Chain A
């Protein structure tokens, strides 16, 4: 029943697994930066590029044929740069909305009749189509939101480093930060791949998800480090640093797994049964929390162990 991990023994393997997870993500992000029209590591939504998305709810399943027709009709009306997508909302027969037709265009200025034109075209193809969601972001505002989001993330990181340096030591803080960078790269990289393959976009909510992952990842790491700190106080004479690390990880293992499991249960429930608008948000959190647990057990602790090996080597040989 009792699971014993020997992470110190297999620390090279742990780092290799992390590298294996991270490197493809890096690759995808770099590839996306070069290939994508916005030159961003992930496919960004209108929240960051500026633009207008019109979503129409229809009470039928939309076929690829119909979509093609819609595209040609729109092009005929001079709306050529539009991106059209179908989002399946509900398979329930009684639901008023079965699918959403999402049309993304350049920012539609107030007073322009482009949106009315698009609505007309859509309604000529789908009689019961109703505008169900309109999001519009001005081009300058998009840039501003992007800069603000990056600033918020940077400040959050700084705040965490300061707090952890104050409560623990700088090397623990650094390991925790590297751990969360590890997690953020994994989540962003996966979304970069998803963006390249299935066209999933990153919006303002995604930043929220990433920040949550940051919070959770640090949360997890702190629990392990807190145990290391406590054990160091009592056992530093009896055990080597590596042994203490290993011991602490195993002591907190049940908690780490149980916490992740309970959080993941709620997130999976949200993903499977929740509304369509939060799906990507929840997916980002699922990925982040899973990797956050992994990194707090197998990555951050290994880093601290490697850094402290020399420092404590002298101590244990004197014993």
Chain B
């Protein structure tokens, strides 16, 4: 009995600790649990590094610098909490919440941002033929939005020491000639060099009509973030608008609560007092599970919610198994205490085996599955593990504390009729006395 009381307080302590984890906030507007982009709205892009003629293999180093460049670029768009992560050998996962202009973001991410200075080697009068001068975006320290003499938007560049020297040499040699600036293989402008430029500064004007403010800013952001070491293309995209996201979460919440309420009502009606205990255990289960989600840092997605709901189903199932067994033992004429402990002991193998198969399945899914499937497998596996604790420890403890060594005088609290009690013993044991204490032949 003493052990049971200690256990009871241990459960209360775990429950309170879990509650405090759930409601603990570092910042006042932190959500209770991190929600996936499919619920809050946002964009999930998967990039794959592309091999080119010059790059035959994608090395981990390349991927590191690609990750770095993409991170800098996404940060330049100015959205908070973006997430860039390497997956597999040659892929990157970019997650951008609350995106406002998706096309801009995609452009920013996919652009190789290669800046090149070229000179014309075609003879006069013929169509220009541009060749590289060896001066590229790598020689730039900083780019900024500027205006030219006519008041149009332009992009100002500052070279590093090496670049300054190269640029000075080039301009000295090319006075009176055109120097073209290519960005992503597109000719931006090709001014004629009037005099050598020694101070390491250059300006890109948009040619023709000049840049728009937006274009100039984009180019500056890209140049500052640096060129991508390998071209990368978007191979998968998933964007959910904030309205649709909030619609999903609101509805899932309502549906989840209705479902949970109905299940609790069912348990109460069918199993009576044990049903109430199961309902309390279910609440404790949900609180512990959410605290665990928060501690581990699980991001809840739609698939994750599905996993959670399923694990609730399995948690309820464990209770149903135990109560059905307990009722059976009561029908066989056992004392209340024997029936409860036998109910737990005998239901345990079923619960254990069935939950083990679920965990095995989840492990394989987590290992092999796609992102969506992974989220599902993780919440389900955690749910099943916690449900074993809640069914075996919490329900059992409460049952024994409440019924303990008492005798069953009112069978209706278990949803049984008086005349059912003790009628099934002959099927199990030959002697009624044996049946009472669960002694088997």
Contact = CB atoms under 8 A, between A and B. Distances in A.
A244 to B, nearest CB: 12
Contact of B368 (A57, A155, A277): A155
B306 A230 contact: no
Contacts of A141: 46, 48, 235-236
Interface string B345-368: 010011001111110111111001
B375 to A, nearest CB: 9
A222 interface: yes
Given A134-B239, A135-B237, A267-B259, A159 B361 contact: yes
B258 interface: yes
Contacts of A218: 354, 357
Interface stretch (A3-11, A30-38, A77-85, A268-276): A268-276
Given A255-B324, A259-B317, A116 B241 contact: no
Contacts of A265: 259, 262-263, 266
A204 interface: yes
Contacts of B110: 110-111
Interface in A224-281: 226-227, 230, 234, 247, 251-252, 254-255, 258-259, 261-263, 265-270, 272-278, 281
B431 to A, nearest CB: 14
Nearest to A155: B364
Interface residues of B, number: 76
A255 B252 contact: no
B128 interface: no
Contacts of A133: 238-241, 244
B243 A132 contact: yes
A159 B364 contact: yes
Interface in B312-340: 312-314, 316-317, 320-321, 324, 328
Interface string B85-121: 0000000000000000011001100100000000000
Contacts of B259: 265-270
B407 to A, nearest CB: 24
Given A159-B364, A212-B310, A234-B441, A261 B357 contact: no
B150 to A, nearest CB: 30
Contacts of A215: 357-358, 361-362, 380
Given A208-B373, A223-B354, A258-B320, A159 B360 contact: yes
Secondary structure call for the B interface: helix
Given A155-B364, A212-B310, A138 B235 contact: yes
A255 B318 CA distance: 10
B255 interface: yes
Q: Which of the four size classes fits the interface of chain A?
A: 35 or more
A152 B373 contact: yes
A126 to B, nearest CB: 15
A275 B240 contact: no
A109 B354 CA distance: 46
Nearest to A137: B236
Given A251-B328, A262-B320, A265-B266, A116 B103 contact: yes
A204 B373 contact: yes
Nearest to A229: B349
Interface stretch (A88-96, A181-189, A192-200): A88-96
Nearest to B38: A277
A207 to B, nearest CB: 7
Interface string A83-125: 0000001100001110010000000011100011000000000
Given A57-B241, A132-B243, A222-B350, A270 B255 contact: yes
9 contacts: A131-B239, A135-B238, A152-B369, A160-B361, A167-B353, A212-B376, A215-B362, A255-B324, A266-B313
Interface of B: 38, 43, 46, 48, 102-103, 106-107, 110, 233-241, 243-244, 247-249, 251-252, 254-256, 258-260, 262-263, 266-267, 270, 302-303, 306, 309-310, 312-314, 316-317, 320-321, 324, 328, 346, 349-350, 353-358, 360-365, 368-370, 372-373, 376, 380, 427-428, 440-441
Given A208-B369, A234-B428, A268-B259, 20 more contacts: A52-B237, A57-B241, A97-B244, A133-B238, A134-B239, A136-B234, A156-B361, A211-B373, A219-B317, A219-B355, A227-B350, A230-B346, A255-B324, A258-B324, A259-B313, A262-B317, A273-B251, A273-B254, A274-B255, A277-B244
